[in-house]
Amino acid sequence: MDTRRLKDKIFTITIIVLSIIAIAPVFHIIVYVSYRGLPIILESGLEFFTSLPNAVTDPKPGGIAQAIIGTLYLTATASIIAVPIATLAAVFSSEFPRSRLTHVVRAASRSLLEVATIIVGMLVFALLVLPTGRFTALAGSVALAIVMIPYVYTYVELAMLSVPRTYVEAAYSLGMSRALVIYHKLRIARRGVARGLMIGVTKAMGETAPLLFTAFGARNVLFGGPLEPIDALPLMIFQFMQTGYDNWIKLAWGGAFVLLISYLTLFIITRVVVKEVKY
């Protein structure tokens, strides 16, 4: 075997080993969370998804219905707030890349990406919770929306900028309006746009710190309304894991498994539904 082939095989083996090392923690998390959480769900059955947590002295742990409903509500509301703002900002930045406003928006977005989410929670706490004197689902949704915006904005802008300039010039040469051109650019870049939306949604679904200062949590009610405290899966997991009570720790592991499956399901659906556009 000559030296070049030997080097090539060594390089290939090295890449494979490093790739396995890189993805091993992800598989470890999936396997371990499934090992700890799935048996709890199988043991509780449908009650795990339809009932509230039982008292710590109860022989059965109960369920996490309030956390599931809270996560769905907070994520949906935050998306309704964040997605239009981030998408419109990304479209503006891609259409007017030399505008001063674009530079400001990009700088603000990059800065928000680096800011700890607990700071966002403290900001919303000061602006919405302190003046009203209560934790609310609305405050939690606003905090998660602020967390989502820079992620959605960044990925949607990159997707828009990835569309070949020749396509845009051809569209304008055919007499299309700017609005129609933007629409077709979004269609062409739909895979990148969907990726940005997915990352933003999953980021909101998994956030805990902002909710500690805004939503606070509610264990004894499924949903009290937008102006009442609300629970969420990551918030419940964080709080229950610290209690030391076996029943609530079981619910935390079951909730972690539900959250994990939600992530994987959202990722798979996005990959299947949104097809890649080849130029």
Task: Tell me: pLDDT of 278 over 70.
Answer: no
Residue 255 resides in a domain:
yes
In whole angstroms, what is the distance from residue 132 CA to residue 121 CA? Answer: 15
Q: Which two tokens stand for residue 261?
A: 């499956």
The whole-model pTM stands at 0.88
Domain that holds residue 146: 65-273
Residue 105 resides in a domain:
yes
Number of domains in the chain: 1
What are the tens digits of pLDDT across the range 209-268? 999 999 988 888 889 899 999 999 999 999 999 888 889 999 999 999 999 999 889 888
Residue 128 resides in a domain:
yes
Question: Can you tell me which residue has the tokens 């739909």?
Answer: 190
What are the tens digits of pLDDT across the range 181-215? 888 888 888 888 888 899 999 999 999 999 999 99
Task: Look up residue 117 and give its amino acid.
Answer: T
214: exposed, middle or buried (Cβ count in 10 Å: 0-12, 13-18, 19+): buried
Residue 55 resides in a domain:
no
> What is the average per-residue pLDDT within 125-154?
94
Residue 46 resides in a domain:
no
Residue 7 resides in a domain:
no
Beta carbons within 10 angstroms of residue 124's beta carbon? 25
What are the tens digits of pLDDT across the range 166-177? 888 888 888 888
Distance of CA 279 to the CA centre of its chain: 29
91-115 as b/e: b if 16+ CB within 10 A: bbbbeeeeeeebeebbeebeebeee
pLDDT > 90 in the chain, percent: 55
> What is the average per-residue pLDDT within 147-164?
91
What are the tens digits of pLDDT across the range 43-89? 988 999 999 998 888 888 999 999 999 999 999 999 999 999 999 99
Per-residue confidence (pLDDT) for residue 8, from 0 to 100: 84
What CATH number did the domain enclosing 69 receive?
A: 1.10.3720.10
Q: What is the DSSP letter of 227?
A: T
Residue 263 resides in a domain:
yes
Q: Which two tokens stand for residue 225?
A: 């309304």
Task: Tell me: pLDDT of 279 over 60.
Answer: no
Confidence of residue 276 (pLDDT cuts 50, 70, 90): low
CA-nearest of 166, 175, 177, 198 to 274 is: 198
Q: What is the DSSP letter of 278?
A: P
